[in-house]
Homo-oligomer: A and B are copies of this chain.
Amino acid sequence: MSAAPKPMSGVLSPVVTPFAADLSVDMPRMVAHCRCLLDADVGLAVFGTNSEGNSMTIGERTAVLQALTEAGLPADRMMPGTGGCAIPDVVDLTRTAVRMGCGGVLVLPPFYYKGVSDDGLFAFYSEVIERVADERLRLYLYHIPPVAQVPLSLDLVGRLLDRYGSIVAGIKDSGGQWDNTASLIERYASRGLQVFAGSETFLLRTMRAGGAGCISATANVNPAAIVDLHGCWRGADADQKQAALDRIRTMFAAFPMIPAMKHALALATGHEGWRRLRPPLLALPQEQQSAFAQVAQKVGFALTLNAI
């Protein structure tokens, strides 16, 4: 049996998922995009929110993990999203990821019921961890209240650390509230919790506070510059670099994020299929494509994109 993976850090991306005309996963293109990201030193948080991970079945996600590892991509650079509403599904995919040697798994809270208690969420994560029953499991919590509408409180994180120690390896904070990320680092980084900002907007602050890095959608389309700031955040020009990242992020945030990133990838690769999303998400409408072109030119985005 292999050893437990090391703590993950740096820049990861919820890898956007390319779909074929019948909306099945376009595996060769998925492998190729993942390779590009790895070449830029971006880790693979496949099946994240911006990957349309929850729009894919457990079977489809398992097949993607198999395709990636069979293509020779390193599993220890993967942090697949394995969360869901049904415990047996979460256990199933998490087990697969652990056995494949993934560096970790990123686990949403169950997101159907709202207003659930910390006790209930603790019981959910406990069931998952105890059913997977593998010391190699490294579970990264996924706090994203704007989408899941089910927050993970600071206290809950502490309770899970108390009970499960190093198995609860980190957290991605996509709440968009710096105070919460800062509190997570302050309270739990010294206990080994790897705290990731959910966007590179908070990357410099996260590094200065003692966090692990960021897991950010826009690392799909601006990987080199984000990785660069992570590598030299102590440099004199770090604030300038952060400002440059912010301009690109702001540009994408002015559009529906996933359609805009897929549109950018279609432009960069010449492959129209990149524009496909699974409903309820839809491709960037024609009029927004024109608006995107204008803004991209203004901030000099095309050059950055060509780098991947």
Q: Which residues of A contact B (CB under 8 A)?
A: 23, 49, 54-58, 60, 85-89, 109-114, 116-117, 119-121, 123-124, 126-127, 146-150, 278-282
* Residues of the B chain whose Cβ atoms lie less than 8 Å from the Cβ of A89: 57
* Residues of the B chain whose Cβ atoms lie less than 8 Å from the Cβ of A146: 114
How many copies of this chain does the complex contain?
Answer: 2
Q: 14 A-B residue contacts at CB 8 Å?
A: A49-B112, A54-B86, A54-B110, A56-B86, A57-B88, A60-B88, A86-B278, A87-B278, A114-B149, A116-B280, A117-B282, A119-B282, A127-B279, A150-B280
* Residues of the B chain whose Cβ atoms lie less than 8 Å from the Cβ of A86: 54-57, 60, 278
B55 x A123 contact (CB < 8 A): no
- For residue A253, give the distance in angstroms from its CB to the closest CB of chain B: 14
* Residues of the B chain whose Cβ atoms lie less than 8 Å from the Cβ of A150: 280
B279 x A112 contact (CB < 8 A): no
A279 x B87 contact (CB < 8 A): yes
A279 x B147 contact (CB < 8 A): no
Inter-chain CA distance A120–B282, complex, in Å, is: 6
Q: Closest B-chain residue to A123, C-beta based?
A: B279
Q: Tell me which of B55, B88, B114, B120 contacts A85 (CB under 8 A).
A: B55
Inter-chain CA distance A110–B117, complex, in Å, is: 23
- For residue A295, give the distance in angstroms from its CB to the closest CB of chain B: 21
* Residues of the B chain whose Cβ atoms lie less than 8 Å from the Cβ of A57: 58, 86, 88-89
Inter-chain CA distance A282–B122, complex, in Å, is: 11
B85 x A123 contact (CB < 8 A): no
Q: Tell me which of B54, B56, B120, B279 contacts A281 (CB under 8 A).
A: B120
